[in-house]
Structure 1
Amino acid sequence: MQEMQPSTTLSAGRTRLTMFLLAIIYVFSYIDRNLIAIVLEPIKQEFDVSDTVMGAVSGLAFAVLYSAFSFPISRMADKGTNRKNIIAVCCGLWSIATVASGAVTQFWQFVVARMTVAIGEAGGTSPSLSMVSDLYPPQKRSFVISLFMIGPNVGLLAAMALGGWIAQEHGWRAVFIYFGAPGLLLALILYIVGRDPGLGIYDTAAEDEARKQPQGKFLTDVRAIMKLKGFFLICMGTAVAGMVGYGYAIWAPTFMVRNFDMPLSHAGLAFGIASGVFATFGTIFSGYFCDKLSCQDSRWQLRMPTLGILISIPFGFGFILWPVDAFWMLGSIKVPHAILFAAGFSFFNSWWPTLAYSAISHLVSSRQRATSMAILGLFLTFFGAGIGPLLTGTLSDLFSVGNGGEGLLPALLIMLSLLTLSALFYYKAIGPYQERVSGLKADEDNSKKTQQSEMQSPIETK
């Protein structure tokens, strides 16, 4: 493989600092995005709305604007706009909107605030992943992205554990204010001390030459990316997995409150620790071993998320169906035995986000990376954050009719069953993905041979 030297003066210390800031900001983006999960029940009661409406607000209202703004912002990143500045400005915007979510007095104001959070976060994930991909060489990319992707797990842990306690002690409005404010400081720090390493600094000579060509029209570039072998199947696998994941994560704390008769703070603490901690381990585990295995066989980049999803399904069923009267008492806190299954589900179901984004980074060139991440993010956000909580809430309302008002249990079971479809999409993508990656490797080898031939030609002529 051609040795690639970075064309940046960014020091190792500055690289690590920038990576750390991006990761912390990503943590807070997921905290601000998912705070609504732990305070969903009190918000619903205060504004007197249904599970369907809360599912729409927590998902669809967010997803629509996130999807609409992610493409133009990602396009800016691919054109060479300083990605650090994009992320800092967007972080400041979603943090202000999160604080505003706790200051509203009308339900429509809450909806507007949540949609503004979506606009800000649309400029967070894709430019960040594009920057992370340029901070370290390709052979370390899955592991580095896995470290970055710890963000959602740590964010979920903080939102559930601390958010539940804050809501219990100070009310649901304080949760948004306390977690939104630190983002303003982080945005300022990134703007001042963070550095963009430069677009495509680890590109091969052929990729570097292609990147210098004029960028095509937006829709033309999107169509070209969508036609890449395996890309659409990866997007569909991510869309279905995200739909289940968001529906599960948003409604699981409410399920614990209703099913296990737990206080909001205890449910948030138990679910946050089980899900956040074990998902963190799963994310690091999958990224590290995927890099090792993919060096020998590129198919492991998609085999691992497929296996992780399939193994996670029985754990998810165990969490939902385990007897409600089986629990431990830790002091005054009731801990259901079912929480062990939630931990297992989180460990194995955390494999697919990291490995899907990493797979996409290997399929495209550096000048397509932010846009391709935005496309994948569109599938994940629209189907995941948009449809997942809404569909779960709608099914809950539907099954509640004639069932004593408790329809969340069958709704979650139906959602978890859909993971089999996600695994099928990832499995179908393995062959086309390997073909595409092999083709890129062959182009790289040919480019290297051409360069060597051009260097030897003058000597031979002489």
Structure 2
Amino acid sequence: MTALGGVAASFMVLAFTRFGVAFGEAGGTPAGHAIIARKIRPERRGLAIGLFALGIPLGTMVGFAVGGAMSDTLGWRTVLIGAGALGGIIGLLAFVIVGPTPPRKTATTSGEPFLHASVRLLSSLGFRWLFIGAMISGFAAAPFYAFAAPFLMRTHGYSASEAGLAFGLLQGLMGIFGTLIGGRWFDRAARSGTGRVLGPPGILFLIASVTTTVALFVPVPWLSIILLVPAMLSFAFMLPWGFGAAHLVAGKGKEAMATSLVMIGSGLFGPAFGPLIVGMISDAATETGIPNGLALGMLAVPAASALTGVAILVANRRIAASFRNIDIG
């Protein structure tokens, strides 16, 4: 579907191929987390999820940096076709190397219908607030990744390759740091026995909301990029914490279900409507002659980050209150 985007002759066809990309990617993370849960001890699972999540920042770093440079020289169609071909090769390698994993036969894998299992899991206040936080975070992450590079280009005059290199490199570095440190930190928090397994990412989202707001209006290009760093870090840092906390609440044998619900929350509305809202605000501001209209639209990112931080901190408190009933083994 990525490669087909490179030969799209209309916006609707291009949009359809992007839907196809999302559909193809959706099953990978829950399946990966289920394999991790079967093979990695609970006390080290946060780090394992963090290592698994490294694919996001590494891919972002390479995609922005290399993709921006190639787009300037070869055109965006060539970039999409090349990325699709590379993805196909990696998919075949994964199929051959990993191979099929037989289902684990335990009492917890009861074949409970998805809807019933989802309702039962969402009946937990801690998981419900985590789901809400994941849903709001989509309104922060999707526009951030979609418009950060165009913002640097339109507002500060960077070229596509310069914006891609600066944003991609920092995003990759923060992603590596955030997922690895976040995974280790989560493991330590889970072993503490207090049940407070979401406090640090909640606080980081609140900090990111402030720095991102300033970044959108500061006139100094390099300072604007630096002020975007906490947002880059918050999205990566949250991954092992969010999924790890979801696994704790769900219990053994339900890790893939928990991952699926968290991903449904983060992808339910945010990626679909977040960039659309930012684009509509930006276009409306530009049409009325307001300078830096894209920055006004991107205010949705820090607003959603602040709400995400609040929801995550509420989830942290709720999970801690019921932690005595959670089996972390």
TM-score by length of 2: 0.92
What is aligned with 1:291?
187
In the alignment, which of 136, 151, 161 is matched to residue 255 of structure 1? 151
Following TM superposition, by how much is the alpha carbon of 1:126 offset from its aligned partner in structure 2, in angstroms? 1.4
- Structure 2: where are the runs of 5+ without partners? none
Structure 1, residues 45-79: CA drift from partner, whole Å, max 9, x if none?
A: xxxxxxxxxxxxxxxxxxxxxxxxxxxxxxxxxxx
Residues 1:338 and 2:234 are matched in the alignment: no
Structure 1 residue 405: deviation in Å? 6.5
Deviation for aligned residue 1:387: 2.0
2:208 is aligned with 1:312 = yes
Letter in 2 for 1:272: G
| Corresponding residue to 2:236 among 350, 356, 363 | 350
Residue 349 of structure 1 and its aligned partner are, at CA, apart by 4.1
Q: Provide the rounded CA distance (Å) in 2 between the counterparts of 1:199 and 1:305.
A: 33
Letter in 2 for 1:318: V
- After superposition, the Cα gap between the structure-2 partners of 1:210 and 1:368, relative to the gap in structure 1 and judged at 3 Å, is closer
1:242 and 1:380 in contact (8 A); partners too: yes
Which piece of structure 1 moves more, 340-349 or 408-417? 340-349
The residue that corresponds to 2:76 in the other structure is 172
Matched, 1:387 2:283: no
3-state secondary structure, aligned to 1:321? coil
- The match for 2:218 among 322, 330, 334 is 322
Question: In the TM superposition, what is the alpha-carbon distance from 1:247 to its structure 2 partner?
Answer: 0.9
Aligned partners of 2:16 and 2:207: how far apart in 1?
39
**Is 1:272 aligned to residue 168 of structure 2?**
yes
Shift of 1:343: 2.4
Cα deviation for residue 317 of structure 1 reads 2.2
- Quote the sequence identity (%): 22
Quickly say closer, same or farther: Cα 1:354–1:395, change in 2 above 3 A. Answer: farther
Q: Please give the alpha-carbon distance, in whole angstroms, between the structure 1 residues aligned to 2:242 and 2:103.
A: 21
Is it true that 1:105 corresponds to 2:9 in the alignment? yes
Question: Which structure has the higher relative contact order (CA within 8 Å, separation 6+)?
Answer: 2
SS at match of 1:116: helix
1:209 aligns with 2:107: yes
Give the conservation status (yes or no) of the 8 Å contact 2:196–2:319.
Answer: no
Distance verdict in 2 for CA 1:391–1:275, change over 3 Å: same
Query: What is the CA–CA distance in structure 1 between the aligned matches of 2:13 and 2:288, rounded to whole Å?
Result: 34
**TM, length-normalised to structure 1:** 0.67
Partner SS for 1:262 = coil
Deviations 1:217-267 (A, max 9, x none): 332222112112411100111111221111111101111110001111111
Provide the rounded CA distance (Å) in 2 between the counterparts of 1:410 and 1:104: 31
Confirm whether residue 137 of structure 1 aligns to residue 41 of structure 2: yes
The answer on 1:116 being equivalent to 2:27 is no
1:195 deviates by: 4.2
Task: Check the 8 A contact 1:242/1:384 in 2, yes or no.
Answer: yes
Give distance in 2, aligned partners of 1:106 and 1:412. 26
Q: Matches of 2:200 and 2:318 in 1, distance apart?
A: 16
Inter-CA distance 349–182: structure 2 relative to 1 (3 Å threshold): closer
Q: Would you say the 8 A contact 2:251–2:326 is kept in 1?
A: no
Aligned equivalent of 1:409, options 283, 295, 318: 295
Local SS of the residue matching 2:198: helix
Q: List structure 1 segments (4+ residues) > 4 angstroms apart after TM superposition.
A: 195-201
Residue 428 of structure 1 is matched in structure 2 by: 314
Stretch moving more, 158-167 or 118-127? 118-127
Distance 1:178 1:298, change over 3 A: farther
Q: Which amino acid counterpart does residue 392 of structure 1 have in structure 2?
A: V
In structure 2, C-alpha distance between the alignment counterparts of 1:425 and 1:125, rounded to whole Å: 23
Shift of 1:99: 0.8
Aligned residues: 329
Report the aligned-residue RMSD: 2.1
Contact 2:179 2:236 in 1 (8 A): yes
Structure 1 gaps of 5+ residues are: 1-96, 202-207, 328-335, 445-462
How far 1:179 sits from its partner (Å)? 1.1
- Structure with greater Cα Rg: 1
Match of 1:153 in 2: 57
In structure 2, distance between residues paired with 1:369 and 1:256: 39
Q: Report the 3-state secondary structure (helix = DSSP H, G, I; strand = E; otherwise coil) of the residue aligned with 2:158.
A: coil
How big is the shift at 1:376? 1.2
- Between the aligned partners of 1:251 and 1:142, the Cα distance in structure 2 is 30
- The structure-2 alpha-carbon separation of the partners of 1:375 and 1:251, relative to structure 1 and needing over 3 Å to count, comes to same
Query: Is the Cα contact below 8 Å between 1:246 and 1:389 reproduced in 2?
Result: yes
Going from structure 1 to structure 2, the CA distance change for 1:209 and 1:371 (only over 3 Å counts) comes to: closer
Match of 2:326 in 1: 440
CA displacement at 1:319 relative to structure 2: 2.1
Contact 1:231 1:433 in 2 (8 A): yes
Q: In structure 2, the residue corresponding to 1:301 is in which secondary structure?
A: coil
Per the TM alignment, residue 196 of structure 1 is displaced from its structure 2 partner at its CA by 5.1
Contact 1:134 1:199 (C-alpha < 8 Å) held by counterparts: no
1:158 touches 1:272 (CA, 8 Å); kept in 2?
yes
